[in-house]
Amino acid sequence: MNIYYFADILTVIFEAFMIFIFLETLFEERSIFPKWVYIIGVGILSGLLLLSNAVFSFNLLNAFAMALSVFIVSLMYKGSAALKLIASITSILFIGVIEIIVMFFITLIFNITAEEAVQIPEYRILGIMVSKLAALAGFTTLRVKLKGHEFDMGTSYWPLFLCLFANSIVAVFLLFKMSYELKDTPMNNLAIICSFGLLFTTIFALYLYEHLAKQSYVITKNNMLEVQLREQVKHYDNIMMTQGQVKKIRHDLENHLHAIKAYVEKDEGESCLKYIENLIGGISKSDTYIDTGNTVLDAILTLKKSVAEQKNIRFNANICIPKNLPMPHDDECVIFGNALDNAIEACDKVKENRYINVSVKYDRDKLICKITNSCVNKNTQSKVTTKQDEKNHGIGTDNIMKALEKYKSISKVTRTDDEYTLFFIIMDLI
């Protein structure tokens, strides 16, 4: 077995791995199969593809046999047989088309005929390697587009992605071109070995990036869940506090009624009226509950208003939303809970004129929100204080922005000398 047969085997294994990436993108793995079963599946598909190539060589029957092989291993995934059959044919057609395009460019670059590009092992191996890299780029792009919600891909991904594949393809071409010009068999063998190194390094780099992206996504998701949990705990604390107030009022109500009755029996109307006015004033001062009809948002706003008033911060809320706001409760907790926590922390550093103004309006499938709060004046605070203020506002800002990214939204944060404003619009909220 010379190095070209070895290269054929490795390229088939690489092709089988790519096809499994494609199947995993379109279909869901069966829970009854552990991961190692799918690794064995890559080996089985590699064997079937090698057998097909050996029996049918490179013709239409080979393409049919390869598509059938892909369909067989696709049964390891959930989904309808018709879709799996279409996916099997599509994957083989895509790989075939890429190989034809690459072979065409090889004939142009090396000034050879199509027959030479297929028959001469060196050119054929070069074409297969470059076509596999190009096919991997296509499958990876599809995977990110269809399953990108499971990753945390930053803006740097696509430049890195393009550079990775472009560098690998150019390097493979240059290696083979150099070895052909030298007419040195050992150099040809070395070019093949180095090309496979680039091929598998590209796969490992993509796997590592995706693995890190998934970890980042899980960490971010856990952080958001932690924020939601804290908001729920605060909500329950608020409920307990409210229940305690209700019990206290119920306990004192009987005494108040007896006192009013005594005033009435003694015909002391003026004293009775003052007593009632004092009761009404006490109830008004302790009434912090905000009632918009939306249970979750009411709980968040009521809790934050209560906390703000305990810190002598004026809390003004102008809310006009439907009772059943078409927005998940966890997103409501993350967005409004973090925004108001940041506002309270910023106000707590202000000595005078401490206020928070909240305006939320739902109009024609759009949720419009503006939260304004006083903050330490930039012209009078020290550098250390400035950093702390930015940190406080930044603690939950990332979570707010990540929650807003789920929707078609516009957001803007502005800061003047002594005022901080968060403004956002969520559109198409149906």
First to last CA, the chain: 64
Given a cut of 50, the residues of the chain with pLDDT beneath it are 285-286, 381-393
Answering whether pTM is above 0.85, one says: no
Half-sphere exposure of 41 (CA within 13 A, CB side): 24
Strand-by-strand arrangement of the 408-415 sheet: 314-320, 355-363, 366-374, 419-427, 408-415
DSSP H/E element including 187: helix 185-265
Tell me if residue 419 falls in helix, strand or coil. strand
Look at residues 134, 151, 56 and name the one whose alpha carbon lies nearest to residue 100: 134
Domain coordinates in residue numbering, the chain: 3-227, 289-430
The pLDDT of residue 74 is: 92
Dump the DSSP string for 110-125.
Answer: TT--HHHHHHSHHHHH
Tell me if residue 424 falls in helix, strand or coil. strand
Rg (CA), the chain: 34
The pLDDT of residue 287 is: 52
Q: What is the dihedral of CA 375, 380, 382, 386, to 10 degrees?
A: 30
Q: How far is CA 407 from CA 223, 366, 410, 425, in A?
A: 19, 11, 9, 10
Look at residues 401, 402, 396 and name the one whose alpha carbon lies nearest to residue 221: 402
The pLDDT of residue 40 is: 92
If phi over 0 gives left and psi between -120 and 50 gives alpha, with beta otherwise, what is residue 365? left
Q: Give the integer Cα–Cα distance in Å for 333 and 229.
A: 9
CB contact at 8 A, 22 and 91: yes
CB contact at 8 A, 424 and 410: yes
The pLDDT of residue 421 is: 93
Half-sphere exposure of 164 (CA within 13 A, CB side): 21
The pLDDT of residue 386 is: 38
pLDDT tens string 225-270: 776 677 666 656 666 665 565 566 566 676 777 788 788 888 877 8
pLDDT tens string 163-172: 877 888 888 7
Residues for the chain: how many in total?
Answer: 430
Look at residues 279, 283, 219, 285 and name the one whose alpha carbon lies nearest to residue 246: 283
CB contact at 8 A, 373 and 355: yes
Q: Give the integer Cα–Cα distance in Å for 342 and 391.
A: 9
DSSP H/E element including 129: helix 121-147
Q: Give the integer Cα–Cα distance in Å for 318 and 359.
A: 5
CB contact at 8 A, 358 and 383: no
CA angle 413, 419, 425 (to 5 degrees): 30
Tokens of 9: 């085997």
| Pairing of β 366-374 and β 355-363 | antiparallel
Give me the sign of the Cα torsion angle 189, 195, 201, 206: negative
DSSP H/E element including 356: strand 355-363
DSSP state of 408: E
Domain 289-430: assigned CATH number:
3.30.565.10
Give me the sign of the Cα torsion angle 330, 332, 333, 338: positive
Count of other CB atoms within 10 angstroms of residue 3: 15
